Amino acid sequence: MSGAPPLPPPVAGAPDRAPQVRAMFDRIAPRYDLANRVLSLGLDRWWRRQALAALKECARGDVLDLCAGTLDFTAALVAGGARSVHAVDFSQEMLDAGRAKLPPGAEVTITAADARALPLLDQSVDGVVCGFGLRNVPELHRAVAECARVLRPGGRLVVLDFFQPDGAVGRLLQGTYNRLVVPTVGGLVTGFRDAYAYLTDSIDAFATRAEFEEMLTRFGFVARGRDMFPPVASLVVGIRQEATIVQVQAPEDEP
């Protein structure tokens, strides 16, 4: 048993929050899937299917599941016939919690690593899918630059996440659900109310969908996005253009 006290929950948007984020996901890992299903009323499965469909033919090539968590996307990619799947997440407990979802002998490489320094070669994958992960990553531009680096030209980055709503209806819908339901239900299911209060705050501190699309264009993608039903989660697809010089300088307005 380690004598170190547990790290406090992360502060949404804080530039140095990565160790607290990792510790938080390590703690909630055993009950993460159940909390997801309950909180989204099962809708997350439907959203995930649409995210995978947005990878198009790239889903049958070499694919990175970024911030892979408990490997839902990884397992679906394997089942869908991907040539190889790399699952990367910095929470070892989340990755371990998902291992049982994979069939024996699946072509999957599972690595505990940070999204800002991917353990993959330049232009080595056809697709990157990231579900509900980027909101948690400080220095978002570095993770986006890494996606641009590892994708082959023409490859697709598909991001499913809860972006900061920019319209009045979205704000009302998401605000009500996030403030009233998420911390209470997430806390009851996992025993970690603080973690779910952070998840809510992290949406407020994240980019809007339009801001994120704009960031993708700066890193060599042609980007377009759409809201899911109900309009709380959104999907953004970026197509990696040929030979782009990727600049990893922090944008001044990064959320």
Ligand X SMILES: C[S@@+](CC[C@H](N)C(=O)[O-])C[C@H]1O[C@@H](n2cnc3c(N)ncnc32)[C@H](O)[C@@H]1O
| Interface with ligand X in residues 43-82 (CB under 6 A) | 67-69, 72
Name the one range near ligand X by CB under 6 A: 108-116, 144-152, 218-226, 234-242.
108-116
Cβ proximity to ligand X: between 24 and 239 the closer is: 24
Q: How far is the CB of 239 from ligand X (least distance, A)?
A: 21
Instruction: Determine if 192 is a binding residue for ligand X (CB under 6 A).
Output: no
As a whole number of angstroms, the distance between CA 143 and CA 70 comes to: 20
CA angle, 51 then 77 then 98, to 5°: 100
Q: Is 161 in the site for ligand X (CB under 6 A)?
A: no
Out of 127, 133, 170, 186, name the contact with ligand X by CB under 6 A: 133
- Residue 205 vs 241, nearer CB to ligand X: 205
- Coil, helix or strand at residue 25: helix
Kindly write down the DSSP assignment for every residue of 140-170, as one continuous string: HHHHHHHHHHHEEEEEEEEEEE-PPP-SHHH
Rounded to whole angstroms, how far apart are CA atoms 47 and 61? 21
Instruction: List the one residue out of 150, 148, 167, 132 whose CA is nearest residue 48.
Output: 132
Question: Does the protein bind ligand X through residue 98 (CB under 6 A)?
Answer: no
186 binds ligand X (CB under 6 A): no
- Note whether 18 binds ligand X by CB under 6 A: yes
In contact, 195 and 186? CB cutoff 8 Å = yes
> In the complex, what is the shortest distance from the CB of residue 153 to ligand X, in angstroms, rounded to a whole number?
25
163 forms part of the interface with ligand X (CB under 6 A): no
Q: How far is the CB of 25 from ligand X (least distance, A)?
A: 4
Nearest to 126 by CA among 76, 88, 86: 86
Q: How far is the CB of 135 from ligand X (least distance, A)?
A: 8
89 part of the interface to ligand X, by CB under 6 A = yes
Only one residue has tokens 């570095």, namely 142
Instruction: Rule CB under 6 A: choose which of 12, 21, 78, 150 binds ligand X.
Output: 21
CB atoms within 10 A of CB 255: 15
Looking at beta carbons, which residue is closest to ligand X?
A: 69
Any contact of residue 127 with ligand X (CB under 6 A)? Answer: no
Q: Angle formed by the axes of helices 72-79 and 43-54, to 10°? A: 50
Give the distance, in angstroms, between the CA of residue 55 and the centroid of all CA atoms in the same chain.
Answer: 15
Binding-residue total with ligand X (CB under 6 A): 20
For tokens 């999907």, name the residue: 235
In this chain, which of 90, 192, 212, 221 binds ligand X, going by CB under 6 A?
90
Which parts of this chain interact with ligand X (CB under 6 A)? 18, 21-22, 25, 67-69, 72, 89-91, 94, 114-116, 131-133, 136-137
